[in-house]
Amino acid sequence: MENNRTLSLSILSGKGGVGKTNIALNLAFGLHQLAQNTLLVDCDLGLANLDVMLGIAPEGSLHDVLNRDVRVEDILFNLGGRGLDLIPAASGVTDLLDFDEDQQDQVVRRLDGILKRYNFLILDIGAGISRTVQAFACMTHHRVVVITPEPTSLTDGYALIKVLSTQKKIQDFHIVVNMVASEKEANLGFERIRAASEKFLGISPNFLGYVHHDKVVSESVRKQKPFFQVGPKSVAARDIMNIAGRLADLRNASKDTIASSVPLRLGG
């Protein structure tokens, strides 16, 4: 893999309970299925979920890298295939909840040495509009906002886009509509958030895709495995592969841009 060809994504949501972490986890597996080396980082500081969803007990976390001078290489957790790795977070840790610029700089510097191994870097960020969420969202090339068709999710998703647009001057957002009953419902949910964003913010989010409401998802949560593994031929897994394919196309179309930039940068 060529240097400086890592495309970074932050996975966000305006509220909890929309399946954001599940999307981030399974998207990493989907990208890896497309021969895209992927690093997944749990950035939900203080409320780590990825290790629980995977049923693992990692020996180190991002907290150790930032506070105990531990090497990133020593806390990488392989997810079962060459080029598919996780950097876990730590649960119940409060000293990282107010993520300042010094800590941002540490993350950028510590990850810089290993990112050349990966085509994609995925940051699974906490829900809401906290200072930490905003800081991580500003650090990546692209932002993926996960919503559901429910009115509260649409409202909170729009609020997140509004804050990042007006306060951080971010203009590019990708939308994934999760837990849909049909393609029509997904398109309707996206259209509502797109129309509000265009009318009031002057920006037009990109529709990245949708994931059906699928019983394999709840089954995978109980089994503490990605639904991409529990039901590789399921509707939800197919949907994830469609999204992964669009992201791979996005990376290919952006090669010149990402080759001249850094995968992570200090947020505004």
Q: What is the pLDDT of residue 2?
A: 44
- 23 sits in which H/E element: helix 20-33
What tokens does 249 get?
């196309």
pLDDT in tens, 109-129: 888 889 999 999 999 998 999
> Is residue 264 included in any domain, yes or no?
no
pLDDT in tens, 179-214: 999 999 999 999 999 999 999 999 999 999 999 999
Q: What is the pLDDT of residue 189?
A: 97
What is the arithmetic mean of pLDDT over 56-71? 79
Q: What is the mean pLDDT of the chain?
A: 89
Give the whole-angstrom CA distance, residue 137 versus residue 172.
11
3-state secondary structure of 229: helix
Task: Determine phi and psi for 183, rounding to 5 degrees.
Answer: -60, -35
C-alpha to C-alpha distances, 12 to 15, 27, 111, 232, nearest whole angstrom: 9, 13, 20, 24
CB 13 within 8 A of CB 157: yes
Strongest mean pLDDT among 15-19, 235-239, 255-259: 235-239
Residue type, 255: K
Q: What is the pLDDT of residue 217?
A: 96
Question: Given a cut of 80, is residue 133 above it in pLDDT?
Answer: yes
Q: What is the pLDDT of residue 67?
A: 73
Residues sharing a CB contact under 8 Å with residue 168, sequence separation 6 or more, in sequence order: 134, 137, 138, 267, 268
Higher pLDDT, 107 or 143: 143
CATH number of domain containing 235: 3.40.50.300
Query: How many C-beta neighbours within 10 Å does residue 233 have?
Result: 7
Quote the pTM value.
Answer: 0.93
Name the domain count of the chain.
1
Dihedral sign, CA of 78, 138, 114, 107?
A: negative
Q: Rounded to a whole number, what is the distance in angstroms from the first to the last CA of the chain? A: 30
The backbone region for 13, taken as left when phi is positive above 0, alpha when psi lies in -120 to 50, beta otherwise, is: beta
Q: What is the pLDDT of residue 231?
A: 96
**pLDDT-derived band at 99, boundaries 50, 70, 90:** low
Q: What is the pLDDT of residue 21?
A: 95
Task: Determine phi and psi for 171, rounding to 5 degrees.
Answer: -115, -20
Identify the CA nearest to 51 among candidates 202, 194, 225, 236: 225
pLDDT in tens, 21-61: 999 999 999 999 999 999 999 988 766 789 889 998 888 88
> Is residue 154 included in any domain, yes or no?
yes
Question: Given a cut of 60, is residue 4 above it in pLDDT?
Answer: no
What count of Cα atoms within 13 Å lies in the side-chain half-sphere of residue 170?
26
> Is residue 158 included in any domain, yes or no?
yes
> Is residue 2 included in any domain, yes or no?
no
Dihedral sign, CA of 195, 199, 201, 206?
A: positive
> Is residue 1 included in any domain, yes or no?
no
Domain that holds residue 164: 7-259
**pLDDT-derived band at 74, boundaries 50, 70, 90:** confident
Give the whole-angstrom CA distance, residue 243 versus residue 26.
10
> Is residue 267 included in any domain, yes or no?
no
Output DSSP code: residue 168: H
Output DSSP code: residue 91: B
**pLDDT-derived band at 96, boundaries 50, 70, 90:** low
